[in-house]
Amino acid sequence: MNRSNQGFIKTGVIGFPISHSLSPVIHNHWIEKYGLSGSYEALNIPPKDLETDLQRLIREGFKGFNLTVPHKELVIPLCDDIDDTARIIGAVNTLWVEDERLKGTNTDKYGFIENLKAKAPGMSCKDGPAVVLGAGGAARAVIRGLLDEGAPEIRLINRTAERAEKLAEDFREPCLTTALWSEKNAALADAALLVNTTTLGMRGQPPLDISLDRLPANAPVCDIVYNPLETKLLGKAKARGHITVDGLGMLLHQARPAFERWYGVLPEIDEDLIIKVKEALR
Ligand code: ATR
């Protein structure tokens, strides 16, 4: 790294497109709050330019990056090292340069678990079976987190059954079972947690069509969708008295260890930040 740049730490998020990313709002809020010298930029880079642009940005003094769609998997072969969390999730969302090597991790697992603990403090993942809807990268992060927290059983349900089976095969955990999409209502019987990781319910997408009738009243309901903040799923769960956990909290929490990696401070999520992010979502 260029030593003359060491005082001022340049970071950014790489995506294509990138204009809707909330990450610049989050990280620049923390840079300002903690009085740090640095900047966090939105970097619009098409997949074909990822390798050359990454090298150029590092030469220009960038110390770290977040990655978003469509780069989270594409960046893996460009890293010198990725950690076990990124490996099992199969996606990297955070990069940093250390000893001239490009290193990658995935902070979505941390973001999901920390947000769950903050919003549903009375629950433990050990309490009983968790039902996870979806089998994409987000589901992999959620499932890794639930397993690490000691979930005794995870019922994985995805529209495309083969994708759920592939995920279960990759994880090789006996407590991770799959069920068909048509079985999702029945799978809620005796569950201790429901998590939606699909894109259903997101603005512009159809809602998630599920009956919560069989879900025990003390089971929290999580949606990783954050736009809108209250999805139809969360509205329905709230009306039935379930604790609800929205996706915005996961987004904010996953940003914390990335910021710490680059700036040496594990930042707090304060009210001003939540207001700014909600404003940006409008
Ligand atoms: P991410 O990496 O963010 O999890 P993804 O890999 O695109 O995103 O995964 C999106 C998830 O939403 C998948 O589980 C997808 O189901 P399929 O594997 O069957 O595609 C799910 N999904 C998207 N649209 C859906 C729909 N209309 N009905 C049911 N599931 C849907």
pLDDT tier, 3 (very low <50, low <70, confident <90, very high otherwise)? very low
Burial of 86 (0-12, 13-18, 19+ CB in 10 A): buried
pLDDT at 55 over 50: yes
Query: How far apart (Å, rounded) are the C-alpha atoms in residues 34 and 129?
Result: 40
Mutate to test the pocket of ligand 1, among 71, 157, 159 (most ligand atoms within 8 A of CB): 159
Spatial CA neighbour of 40 closest among 69, 64, 71, 73: 64
What pLDDT does 6 receive? 59
- In percent, how much of the chain has pLDDT > 90? 95
What three-state secondary structure class fits 252?
A: helix
| Ligand 1 centroid to residue 63 C-alpha, Å | 32
Q: Which residues line ligand 1 (CB under 6 A)?
A: 134-139, 158-160, 163, 197-200, 206
| Ligand 1 centroid to residue 203 C-alpha, Å | 14
SS (H, E, C) 82-125: ECHHHHHHCCCCEEEEECCEEEEECCHHHHHHHHHHHHCCCCCH
pLDDT, mean of residues 263-280:
97
| Ligand 1 centroid to residue 10 C-alpha, Å | 33
Task: List the catalytic residue out of 10, 33, 48, 72.
Answer: 72
Query: How far apart (Å, rounded) are the C-alpha atoms in residues 143 and 195?
Result: 10
Is 72 one of the catalytic residues? yes
Residues 6+ apart with CB under 8 A from 269: 249, 252, 253, 256
In this predicted model, what pLDDT tens digit does every residue of 25-53 receive, in sequence order?
999 999 999 999 999 999 999 999 999 99
pLDDT at 134 over 80: yes
Query: How far apart (Å, rounded) are the C-alpha atoms in residues 116 and 112?
Result: 6
Closest approach atom of ligand 1 to CA 198: 12
What pLDDT does 252 receive? 98
Closest approach atom of ligand 1 to CA 181: 29
DSSP code at position 208: P
